[in-house]
Amino acid sequence: MTLPSAEPTRWAETWRTFSRNRAAVVGLVVLVLLVLAAVLAPWIAPHDPAAQHLDLRRAGPSGDAWLGRDEFGRDILSRIMIGARSTLLAAVGSVALSGVVGTLIGVLAGYRGGVADSLLMRAMDLVLSFPYFLLAILVVAVAGPSLRNAAIAIGITYIPQYARVVRGATFEVMGKEYIEAAHASGVRGPRIAWRHVLPNINAPIIVITTVGLALAIVGISSLSFLGLGAQPPSPEWGAMLASGRQYVASAPHISIFPGVAILITVLSLNLVGDGLRDTFDPTLR
């Protein structure tokens, strides 16, 4: 006798829906390859990213240096691979900051409502009243230029987006029957938020985190390009773009390839974000 097959788990069904979006799957594969390259960079990078060869300054792509060499003769491919670690880690740290703080604010505002909701959302409106990038520049100018401070600055500017999305999702969940049942059984305060609210609003959090990573990479690279993020000789993508801008006419590859790395990473994250949005929102299927 053949037993009936088990019902697919929630995550298995989520992956099945996500995998139908070919563009999102391609984006996910590219992201996995980028992360692997970043993690394994110290062992698989073809050259020492800090080694200077002044006799090969601004040399174009060749068999020895596939993406060419920069203004100090350093291998651009190796620097991009090592720089992926800095850029991606900074973006993850930035999104972790905005995600944790923004989620806490959003859940508290949606759960409490009333005066607490009004005060918290007005505070978020105050942050949003500043131009996004100008606020980041202000934070870095006060804290000092560094990659860590750039990540913190970008994280602070993205907190209101998290708070608003999570607040709306929390309001929707608070009207569900299982929340009323939890209240009726005597469950109160943080236990409801932790056990009944957060597990049921993870879908929008996952989507906004994916999009937030893309925005964080662009923001951090932009601050580094302006000299407010990673400092030379750090092989961070934005800093590499900045160092090669004066050679755009004579050696464009110095700027082109770090820019392509940013483009591919951000595009892949956006494709994955679109796929996750379509997966978690049945009205878009």
| pLDDT single digits (tens) 227-273 | 999 888 888 999 999 988 889 888 999 999 999 999 999 999 999 99
**Is the per-residue pLDDT at 131 higher than 50?**
yes
Region 171-180 average pLDDT = 71
Residue 84's nearest CA partner among 24, 29, 44, 36 is 36
pLDDT over 90, % of the chain: 52
Per-residue pLDDT band for 132 (boundaries 50, 70, 90) equals: confident
**CATH 1.10.3720.10 for domain 20-40+70-284:** yes
Using the 8-state DSSP alphabet, how is residue 185 labeled?
T
Burial of 127 (0-12, 13-18, 19+ CB in 10 A): middle
Region 122-145 average pLDDT = 89
pLDDT of residue 186: 61
Q: What is the Cα Rg of the chain in Å? A: 23
pLDDT of residue 5: 44
* Cβ atoms of 161 and 169 closer than 8 Å: no
* Cβ atoms of 87 and 269 closer than 8 Å: no
For 188-237, write each residue's pLDDT tens digit.
666 766 666 777 788 888 889 998 999 999 999 999 999 999 888 888 99
**What does pTM read for this prediction?**
0.88
Q: How far apart are CA 192 and CA 282, in angstroms?
A: 26
* Cβ atoms of 66 and 52 closer than 8 Å: no
